[in-house]
Every structure is written in structure tokens, then in C-alpha cells.
Amino acid sequence: MRIVLLGAPGSGKGTQSQRLVERLGIPQISTGDLLRAAVARGTELGRAAKEAMDGGRLVDDALVLDMIRERLGEPDARRGFILDGFPRNLAQAHALERLLATLHKPLDAVVQLEVDYGELARRIAGRRTCADCGRVFNLLTSPPAANETCPRSGTPHRLIQRPDDNEATVAERLRVYDEKTRPLIDFYRARGLLKVINAEGDVEEVTRRLAQALAALTPLKRRRAKAARPVRPAKRRKPAAKHSRKAKPALRRPPAARRGQHGRAGRGSRGSRGSRR
């Protein structure tokens, strides 16, 4: 299944993506994670991304699209993927649509996670990321389990607050979301892909709502796959053998039989005449 999760910062896209990874066995592709990895490596792309993210701005579309293209080409994305944080604007949505058409991997669903903005500010303030494995937690809604260890380090998660998860940048990020990303709701609704769920409340309940939304799309996915299946031409039947309209020849007696019969009749006649003489 190929899915896009939409939602404002703090709506729970990262948390729900991780749960879908466990359930569906497909990778989560987060542009934020890809960009932060580039920042950690100190590449030119990473330096440009860091400046934008620290200021609450979006990274250049062309750079993000190149990263997405490369990631979708990896083997683990062949069965499907979960796009978290991409696309963020209409230009990216059009570019993604063209890219997936080229790869023959159209989207199956786009899910919008709706959360009140006051709740979003509270969530963002409590969000933390493991410095080793990159897993996202929230001290208010989804903290690490007791005695949980990082799969990469084998020690308890080292939780840090991202530079763009502070109150100073929340208002700007929400403003950018309203201006750039919210128009995607109508974009995907027009394509028949959009599902909207209430993402407030208990994390388990939100997961249940998300699962129901995706389950409802399964019959539609099957119908689309059936419609896209090439129609094979019907096999031509061999024409039935035409019966000859010519009348069958009448059975004739063998020539020898005819001669013998006439011969006996002739000899008998001649013999009779000879005896009378």
C-alpha cells in the first residue's frame, strides 16, 4: 500500500507512521529524517536544509524531490511506502504525482490527521526524538515505555528536543502549513484519495481510526487493480469443418457381379433357344 499522511506539525504523523510500519511491513519515508541525516553529514544540502528548518521554513522543492526519488528506488519501498511530511505544497504534490506515474506506483490513500491548533502547540512542546535511532516520542501522549531501550544503541533512548520544536517557531510553522499544505486537502479530495480522521485523543484510538480508514479503501484498491489489468483478447476458435453439400455417390454393384448376373441371364436365354432348336 502506498500512503501519504497529511497533517499540521504535531498532529501525530510520525507516531502513526511508525505504527503502520509495524502493521504493514512497509517503510516510513520522512523528509524530515532524510533532511536531518543530510544535516548530520554536513553536506551542502544539509546546510541549506538546516537554515530553513531552524527558521521554520520549508526546504526547496527540488532538493526534497531528489531525495524522495532516490529513497523510493530502494528495495524496501517496492511493496509500498508511507510518506510522512511530503508533499508539503501543491508543486510537490504535482511533482510526486508525475514521479509515481513514471514508476507505475500511484498512491492508494491520503489521510488527513485533524487536530485543533491549541492542542498542536501543546503536543509540539512535549515532542522528543531519540538521538540514536530517530524514533519520535511525546512526553504527553506517547512517552517511551518503561525499561525500553534503543534498538541501535541498546541503551535507554537519548531524548532530545529538535530545534524547530520550540514555542518560538510553532506559530510560524502553523502559518506556513495553512498557506502551503492545507490546499493539498482539496487537491487529493478531487482525486478521490482523501480520508480525514480525528487525530485528537488517545494514541490507540487514533490508530484504530486510521486502520478503519485504510481498511475501507481495500475494496476500492482491488477494483482499481482489476480495472488497470490488461484485457486479454479472446481466443479465436477454429472454424468448424464445413459439411459438404454434395450428395454422396450411390452405391453400385461391383462390375464382376454385374457381368456375372447379365452373363448368366444371357447364357440361359441362348441355351433355351438352342434347346428348342
- Return the active site residues: 13, 88, 127, 162, 173
**Among candidates 93, 112, 86, 101, which has minimal Cα distance to 29?**
86
Characterize 97-134 residue by residue with b for buried, 16 or more Cβ atoms within 10 angstroms of its Cβ, and e for exposed: beeeeeeeeebbbbbbbebeeebbebbbbbbbbbebee
Paired sense of beta strands 2-7 and 81-84, if any? parallel
Neighbours of 48 (CB within 10 A): 16
3-state percent breakdown (helix, strand, coil) of the chain, nearest 5: 50, 15, 35
Q: Which residues contact 17 (CB under 8 A, 6 or more apart)?
A: 5, 28, 30, 82, 84
**Among candidates 142, 130, 108, which has minimal Cα distance to 13?**
142
Residue for grid cell 531525495: 67
Find out whether 27 and 40 touch, Cβ atoms under 8 Å.
Answer: no
